[in-house]
């Protein structure tokens, strides 16, 4: 038995080295991706921009908002365009999301990007005697980012409410909005 151990100790190291060399590429290619929950809230304003992809005379808007939540979020900027599709159950005008783009900025300057297309709804009170109240939910995907969010992916929902203070009087959207992003994010 002693002679077998002597042989393995002298000649076994090339076998161990060969196995280690064969496994090294597999260990280097192993992804250390992890999935984490995301919960970010925002409060800000809706501002119109001169974009009308579907020529329905409903312009796109930018949400400029302060944020807080997961990973130290500090700001959210969201671009959306909606198209009217009918009436909601409460008699408000219903809109469908055409497209959206999201940039969330964090306290250290890292950014997380997202986008959505055709997956969302909104109900808006257009009664001139009303207060322009609206509510809805958009859905999208996290698509990339900078810093710790480079290569990030995942999905989110974004419920929101607000008041469109100027639409019935001036014909363009402007007012306060509150909402958030909830979902799962895969970090590389």
Q: What is the pLDDT of residue 15?
A: 47
Residues 38 and 24 both lie in one domain: no
12 and 75 both lie in a single domain: no
Q: pLDDT tens per residue, the chain (188 residues)?
A: 555 455 545 555 554 544 444 444 444 444 567 999 999 999 999 988 877 777 777 778 899 999 999 999 999 999 999 989 999 999 999 999 999 999 999 999 999 999 998 899 999 998 888 888 999 999 999 999 999 999 999 999 999 999 988 876 777 778 999 999 999 999 98
Contacts of 155 by beta carbon, 8 Å cutoff, 6+ apart = 139, 140, 141, 142, 183, 184
If you average pLDDT over every residue of the chain, what do you get? 84
**Residue 86 shares a structural domain with residue 22:** no
Query: Are 84 and 163 part of one and the same domain?
Result: yes
Alpha-carbon gap, residue 119 to 140, rounded angstroms: 7
| Same-domain status, 115 and 25 | no
Domain count, the chain: 2
Q: Please check whether residues 145 and 80 belong to one and the same domain.
A: yes
Alpha helix locations (H) across the chain? 2-29, 167-170
Same domain flag for 83 and 124: yes
- The pLDDT value recorded for residue 1 is 52
In b/e form, how buried is each residue of 37-46, taking b as 16+ CB within 10 angstroms?
ebebbbbbeb
Q: Both 86 and 165 in a single domain?
A: yes
Residues 26, 40 within the same domain: no
Residues 6 and 66: their CA atoms lie apart, in Å, by 69
Indicate if 128 and 56 belong to the same structural domain.
yes
The pLDDT, as a whole number, for residue 16 is 52
**In which domain, by residue range, is 55 found?**
34-187
**What is the structure's pLDDT at 11?**
58
51 and 102 together in one domain? yes
Residue closest to 138 by CA, chosen among 179, 90, 92, 91 = 179
DSSP string, 89-133: TTSPEEEEEEEEEEEEEETTS-EEEEEEES-EEEEE---TTS--E
Q: 2 and 72 share a domain?
A: no
In this structure, what CATH number is given to the domain that contains residue 162? 2.40.480
């Amino acid at each position: 038995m002693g002679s077998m151990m002597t042989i393995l100790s002298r000649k076994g190291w090339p076998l161990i080295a060969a196995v280690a060399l064969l496994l090294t590429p597999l260990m280097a290619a192993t992804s250390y991706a992890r999935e984490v929950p995301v919960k970010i809230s925002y409060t800000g304003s809706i501002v119109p921009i001169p974009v009308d992809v579907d020529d329905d005379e409903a312009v796109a808007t930018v949400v400029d908002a302060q944020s807080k939540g997961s990973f130290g979020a500090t700001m959210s900027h969201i671009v959306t365009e909606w198209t009217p599709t009918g009436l909601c159950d409460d008699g408000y005008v219903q809109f469908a999301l055409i497209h959206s783009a999201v940039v969330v900025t964090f306290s250290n300057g890292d950014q997380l990007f997202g986008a959505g297309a055709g997956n969302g709804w909104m109900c808006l009170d257009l009664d001139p005697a009303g207060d322009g109240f609206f509510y809805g939910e958009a859905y999208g995907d996290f698509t990339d980012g900078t810093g710790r969010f480079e290569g990030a992916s995942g999905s989110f929902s974004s419920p929101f409410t607000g008041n469109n203070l100027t639409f019935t009087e001036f014909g363009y959207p402007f007012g306060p909005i509150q909402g958030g992003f909830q979902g799962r994010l895969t970090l590389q």
